[in-house]
Each structure stands twice: as structure tokens, then as C-alpha cells.
């Protein structure tokens, strides 16, 4: 199986190639060269240069539907079409971050279910299977009409926390009621107490307000927050402020996806978080002093092994 990278995350794609070759050296997976450009009218143009590595072969595309979201989705559809026309045997698609996945229901009458629209777009292509990661709503794979695999980076975060001794004298905190089930499973796996924060969000502005802490004491302990996504960083910053006010020694916020919209990286850097940890599902160009990244390559390579 060979890998093609879209524009969104070429470093992750390269890492997946290396991980695949470590796990299955006989396959000799390679990163296929693709030229991604634009015409003068701003339309995307795709040219896969290495036809011999495509025809009759299994190919996997790696593309996050991150900013610029619409461009990356269209780019993915064009790559899929080009692979089909070149005679690829089959095409798999890894979407480390699925843009529009947070629009998974109708919040107000007259809104679209954008996650389902994107799922339909992908399902009606030459793609044989899709790999998704830590979606906010685990029901989203059901929007696809092709085999879809919902992976979790939870064990990678647990390994990180263990190696940095963050699990000693610690509690797990759910940042809101919506994440309670996820946090409960996380706390059970690492055998730590679970606390919950009462939070409200304005559906029009998206502004988050953290109110109070329930379920136990955080004073004198490390507080570990487990969530699926950091969007603007507002929840993370306000959660850290509340927990420090309640006497937490350290606050570690872990989230699979770091979107960091609206100057979110700056929000994280100026917050009271001792450490924020996200994966490289979305490529980043900056690294605040209190932010760490976890590489997903081995997780996706393991998922692909059964299909190479």
C-alpha cells in the first residue's frame, strides 16, 4: 500500500509511511508524489505524477478536513477521482480531523446536518473505506454508507501521561456534561477518581462559561482533563482557571484535536494550563511553551495493516 498526502498534513503522511515500513518491511510503502496547485481562477488542480505506483495498487490518502476546510475537502475528492482514473486497485482514506463533524445535528430549525453532507460526499466516491479519529459524536460513522472505522488515540495519551508521571496523585475532570461518558471511561481505564464541571455554552456566540466543580476535591492534586477537541481554547482556559481556583496543583488538558481557531494558541499559552497535549491530527506551525504534540502515525499504521 502506498500513501498520498493532501495539503493538510504532509508530515503525518510521511510518518505513516515510515511506521508502515517498520511494521511490515516487505510491503515497501512509499509516499506518492502529487502536484497540488491552483488555476488562475482559484480552482484546485491535481496531478498524480507516478502512474506506475498507482495502477493496480492499493492507495491510502491522508487528509485532515482542517482549515481551509472546504478547499481540503474538494482537494480530497479530486485526488480520489484522479486515482480512480489511473486505475488504482482500491482507495482508503484517513481523515485525522473531520471538519464539519461538530455540526452533527440540527441545533436550530433551518440548519443543515453538515457532518452528514460531508459523509455523503465521501461515500459516493471510489473510496473503499474511511478511518476517522475521536469524533465528538460516535454516531457520525453511521452517516457514511461505506465501511468506516472510528479510531481512538486514548491509549497514546495514557502512555504520555504515564511516561511524564502525571497520573500520580491525580484526578480526571470532565470539562462539561457532554464529555462525561468519555471522561468516565478514561478515568476507569487509568483507575482515577472522576470529577465534573458544570459548563454552559451560548449556541449563537459559542461563548463558554464554567460554573462549578462536582464529584470530589481537586485541591492539592493534579487535574487531568480528557476531551476530544480544543476549538478556540476558551473551555481549556476557563477550566484551568476554575481548577486552579479550587486548589489544583497542576492542570493538564489532553485533547485529540487542536483546532486553535480565533487565536487559540495564544489563548492556551496565556492560560493557567500547566500543560496542554494534542495530537498531530491537525498540522500546527507554532508550539507554545505549555503545548505538546503526540504523533498518530503508529495508530493509523496499525489500522492499515489489515488492508495492505
CB-based contact 289:269 (threshold 8 Å): yes
Cis bond upstream, residue 304 (ω within 30): no
Phi, psi of 32 (to 5 degrees): -80, 135
For residue 249, give the nearest of 215, 275, 223 by alpha carbon.
Answer: 223
Q: How far is CA 129 from the centre of its chain?
A: 18
Contact 79, 88 (CB under 8 A): no
Residues annotated catalytic, as ranges? 199
289 grid coordinates: 511553551
User: How far is the C-alpha of 84 from the C-alpha of 55, rounded, in Å?
Assistant: 9
Neighbouring CB atoms inside 10 A of 73's CB total: 21
Amino acid at each position: 500500500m502506498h500513501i498520498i498526502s493532501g495539503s493538510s498534513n504532509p508530515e503525518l503522511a510521511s510518518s505513516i509511511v515510515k511506521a508502515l515500513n517498520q511494521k511490515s518491511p516487505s510491503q515497501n510503502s512509499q509516499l506518492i508524489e502529487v502536484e497540488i496547485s491552483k488555476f488562475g481562477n482559484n480552482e484546485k488542480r491535481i496531478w498524480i505524477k507516478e502512474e506506475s505506483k498507482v495502477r493496480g495498487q492499493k492507495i491510502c490518502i491522508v487528509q485532515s478536513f482542517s482549515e481551509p476546510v472546504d478547499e481540503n475537502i474538494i482537494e480530497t475528492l479530486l485526488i480520489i477521482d484522479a486515482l480512480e482514473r489511473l486505475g488504482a486497485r482500491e482507495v482508503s482514506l484517513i481523515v485525522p480531523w473531520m471538519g464539519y463533524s461538530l455540526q452533527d445535528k440540527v441545533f436550530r430549525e433551518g440548519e443543515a446536518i453538515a457532518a452528514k453532507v460531508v459523509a455523503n460526499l465521501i461515500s459516493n466516491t471510489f473510496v473503499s473505506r474511511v478511518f476517522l479519529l475521536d469524533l465528538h459524536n460516535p454516531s457520525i460513522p453511521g452517516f457514511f454508507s461505506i465501511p468506516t472505522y472510528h479510531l481512538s488515540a486514548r491509549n497514546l495519551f495514557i502512555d504520555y501521561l504515564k511516561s511524564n508521571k502525571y497520573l500520580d496523585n491525580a484526578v480526571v475532570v470532565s470539562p462539561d456534561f457532554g464529555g462525561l461518558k468519555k471522561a468516565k471511561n478514561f478515568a476507569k481505564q487509568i483507575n482515577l477518581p472522576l470529577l465534573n464541571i458544570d459548563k454552559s455554552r451560548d449556541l449563537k456566540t459559542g461563548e463558554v462559561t464554567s460554573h462549578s466543580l462536582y464529584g470530589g476535591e481537586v485541591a492539592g492534586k493534579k487535574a487531568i482533563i480528557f476531551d476530544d477537541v480544543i476549538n478556540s481554547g476558551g473551555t481549556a482556559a476557563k477550566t484551568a482557571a476554575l481548577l486552579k481556583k479550587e486548589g489544583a496543583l497542576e492542570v493538564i488538558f489532553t485533547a485529540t484535536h487542536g483546532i486553535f481557531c480565533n487565536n487559540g494558541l495564544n489563548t492556551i499559552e496565556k492560560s493557567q494550563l500547566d500543560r496542554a497535549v494534542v495530537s498531530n491530527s491537525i498540522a500546527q506551525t507554532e508550539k507554545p511553551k505549555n503545548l505538546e504534540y503526540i504523533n498518530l502515525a503508529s495508530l493509523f499504521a496499525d489500522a492499515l495493516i489489515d488492508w495492505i
